[in-house]
Structure 1
Amino acid sequence: MIEGDRELSAMVQELWDNDVNRLKPGTDYRISLQGKAGYVRSMNDDQDGIGFPLFSFVDENIFKKETFMAFISLLDNYESDTGEPEIVTPEEEVENHKFLDSIIKTPTMKIAHKYLVEKNLSPSDLTAFKQQLYRIWFELYARRGSSRPDSSGFEHVFVGETRGGRTVIGFHNWIQLYLQEKLGHIDYKGYSVNAHSPQPDENKHIMALQFSWKNGIKPKGSIFIGVSPEFEFALYTLCFLTSPNERVKVSFSLYEVEIVCHHYNQKHIGTTFPILLKYQTV
């Protein structure tokens, strides 16, 4: 592991250790992995052999916590299809700021902010830091094939988008997945593994999966499960600002993970998600 990755791993471990709102597998939530997903190219090529939802239980009391409530309030603010211009209402802008205000107070974001200030990557002033986060995550931009602003880092990563109504892009958040599955909008089609990735574990916090959403298919997506919104926000912001290579390997807790973080115009997050490389032996 290169030196920069080792340093970033130590930071991610600190974020992990201080993620006080993280849910405990088997206690606060339960997932049902069922079977391995088949190869699917489109909704019409449906190989779904899975009969049950991914989430069999979530203690929804967690959603009453401030950061979760603020996060969930943002999930209905977007047009899912790329090419449809996004219009941010004054009320939605207030919700964006309320979310940032809520996470900036958490241990994970405080740790990330302190580190970024030390590296001269973020301003020490909290108001200026919040403006930086807003630009990275919430400023609109035009995705490929669109002439008008139709996307943002937050929408793509945490809410999910569809392209041409048939392909799901982004959508790397477990809370959105759970809530959409509860509404009947998600059809879980199984977990994804390849020759280089470990078998998923229902008691671990990272998995790759296949699902359909609305009329689109996500052939393979990778997500953290049970972590807090502030943990993901802090982790992905750190990777975006510290790693110009857009892929960084980190080790923390029981996981060796590659964090993919593609930049858009060097100012915004295009996409970001974890890829589980292996479980560390204790």
Structure 2
Amino acid sequence: MLFGVPYDQLAILAVGLLAAGAATGILAGVFGVGGGAVIVPVLYELFGVVGVPLEIRMPLCVGTSLAIIIPTSIRSFQAHRAKGAVDMEVLRAWAVPVVVGVIVGSAVARYAPPGVFKAVFIFVAGLSAYRLLTGKELKFGTGMPGPAGMVASGGIIGVLSSLMGIGGGQLGNLVMMAYGHTIHKAIATSSGLGVLISIPGALGYIYAGWPKAAEFPQVAAIQFPFALGYVSLIGFLLFIPTSIWTAPIGARIAHSLPKRKLEVAFGLFLLIVCLRFLWDVVAR
């Protein structure tokens, strides 16, 4: 026993997280993404194997994903900003409403049933899958919306990202490209959203899940020191090294495939995840 947890349970969880991190690294390298769109579904299946109940499985995945995103989002933002590619005016206009949206999303996470998290994931991932599979881009105009539009869009990005466990890149890219920004400018600016979302989001999920350890004493994955609230510390520590190690393997695979095939492949991956979560919602 270690901290009251049987060694066999701990071994299964640790080996599973290492394997899940490796799988996520390959998928992230192939599809060019590293956020919750890949991390959350992989963790969802792993936590199911080790017996995490449905009532807390999805928020545990989302909170852990937000924590995992923190170091990569900071490094990504610093790199893009050093190259002068970040539109700081857009980022400043989004900063407050995005953080407020994350706080609201974290508060919702404390009380929301599992179906809410899955519905948000299905909606956002489904929209991305449709765009990737059809090759169609949304077009709202040129420039960016006025102050009210920036507040509204920033708040929505914050809420949805915090409930889905993503760094906001998918949604930020979608909005900026719809208003005529190039994909490179959109990606660079959206990298800043990852910092604004992941740090307060992870802290919010620690608070939201704090009482759950006492409610589920038999679940090792939610107990301290293996987790803080809805953030799996062991997941955070074991996921990052293996995902970083295997990401170049996925990148080499990606370079051998045409861009359109990668878009279709990632679209199909997101579609499968949507159907998986939809099945859970309908079946229960």
If the length of structure 1 is used for normalisation, what is the TM-score?
0.30
Greater fraction of residues in helix:
2
If the length of structure 2 is used for normalisation, what is the TM-score?
0.30
Point out which structure has higher relative CO (alpha carbons under 8 A, 6+ apart): 2
